Amino acid sequence: MSEHFSLSDCDVIGFDLDHTLCRYHLKETSRLIYESFARYFVEHKNYDKDLLTLTPASWDFCFKGLVVDLEDGNLIKLAEDGTVLRATHGTNELSTEDIFKHYGPKREWKHFDSLNTSYTRSVKYYFYDNYFDLPGALLCARIVDMLHKRGSEVTSDIWKDMLAAIDHNYNTSAFKDDTGTYFPSVKQDPGRYLQPCSDSVKAWLRSMKSAGKVLLLITSSHSDYCRLVCEHILGKDFEELFDVIITNALKPGFFSLVPQQRPFRTLVNDVEESEGLPSLDKPGWYSQGNWPHLHELLKSMTGKAEPKVVYFGDSMRSDMFPASRFGKWETVMIVEELEGEGVPGGSQAKSRDVRAEPVEKRGKFEDQGMKAPSAASEQWGSYFTDVCRSGGGVEDAPKLTWCSHSIHTFSTMAIPSVESIADLPLDYKFPRFSPDKPCTTGYYPRPPDSLLKRCEGLP
């Protein structure tokens, strides 16, 4: 395999939508998502109304890459070898001694092999790898705190209620029916939550089409929400930018459910036709589907027996792992946490939480220290590296986090935003991740600070 990766070598260029092509104002969106879940708990499940009240400092807990161990209610941060780097029960940090009590002197989490080889969720654990459900980690932790304060038992009912809250706010009919809190709020004021793509990104997409590339948009969002988002970030003519649009793709199953794959369905007024298609024979807008049928279409469209495909996405579970493992596609991971560690993004990215509106109309936490979910956390540390504290408070050498290791393993390269590469020529050669190269190789425009410091400290 070549040491470098270039878009000019690809026949097909695909994109996820949310947090990939579309960047969100993360502070505003996170508050909305937290509120949407908390309101469900309070209004439908009779939980304490105090859940609806948050201090700006609470947001430091909101950190992507955590795993909730549903058997003991702990939230854990994992190293690449499955050892527990940090853990909390509720929002309260577990000491080294407490971690030893839960996970033994080697700090081994017993479900790691299952998670590390499948990236699926289970009845035993759930991991937070996207911003749409991330505020749920903070909510679950606060519920555990409240139950302990009352002297009540922590049970799996919390998690059943959380799954019900997610479904209530995000199910495929919620947008059309104006149910839940999330979709009605975004529909009412999309500019508060969605960042329009820069002119450079739009020109970049057009340049790829002009160069003869097949462009895909594959999102698990339903078609009605996809249309609202795309019209806001790309314009009313967004459909002209893509050869194939696939909504309600139900990733990762889009890639992994073979041979029990879901058929593609056509849409009429955002309603899926009941009859599935036996194959995909022409470009267009479709719902659900599977990558083998898409692969056959791409072979026909490119005239190549094995077209080279690259896919941009933000989720290890839904995008990177399944597209790489099952589709054998090249993958580019969008990692906004890079910007939280000193890596410059595009000009749009640099001002992503600065709203062009009077100060008094900005989010009420903007000037009071609310942490963006992509920034490093005081409680959880860096997304990319961390240290294990041995007994007596002695710190071991920094370890790669499991999230960081996963990026190196299943991504071709990682960038903070699509805008960070939109001004580059299509034949630009990016260094790719490789087991034979340092773990810093593969990040563009440069690795995060914590990885650079770790490499400097290694013998």
Residue 53: which pLDDT band, with cuts at 50, 70 and 90? very high
Residue 392 — very low, low, confident or very high, per pLDDT cuts 50/70/90? low
Per-position DSSP letters for 344-401, written without gaps between them: ---HHHHTTT--SS-GGGS-TTTTTTPPPTTS-BTTTB-SSEE--B-GGG-B---EEB
Task: Exactly one of 9, 11, 16, 281 is catalytic; name it.
Answer: 16
Q: Which of 93-102, 206-215, 357-366 has the lowest mean pLDDT?
A: 357-366
pLDDT on residue 353: 40
| CA proximity to 341, closest of 390, 394, 401 | 401
Cβ-contact 145, 51 below 8 angstroms: no
Q: What is the pLDDT of residue 338?
A: 97
Domain edges within the chain: 26-188
Task: Give the DSSP per-residue string, 83-142.
Answer: BEEEEEETTEEPPHHHHHHHHTTTTB-TTHHHHHHH----SSEEE--STTTTHHHHHHHH
DSSP secondary structure code for residue 443 in this structure: B
pLDDT in tens, 9-52: 999 999 999 999 999 999 999 999 999 999 999 999 999 999 99
* Residues 75-119: tens digit of each pLDDT: 999 999 999 999 999 999 999 999 999 999 999 999 999 999 999
Q: Which helix or strand (DSSP H or E) is residue 244 part of?
A: strand 244-247
410 in helix, strand or coil? helix
Q: For residues 407 and 393, give the distance between their C-alpha atoms in angstroms, rounded to a whole number.
A: 30
**What's at 183, amino acid-wise?**
F
Catalytic residue among 9, 11, 18, 178: 18
Per-residue CA distances from 99 to 48, 86, 130 (Å):
29, 8, 26
Name the average pLDDT for the chain. 92
Average pLDDT over residues 312-327: 97
* Rg from Cα positions in the chain: 22
Active site residue 69: no
- Which tokens go with 376? 């490093």
Region 270-295 average pLDDT? 96
The verdict on whether 18 is a catalytic residue reads yes
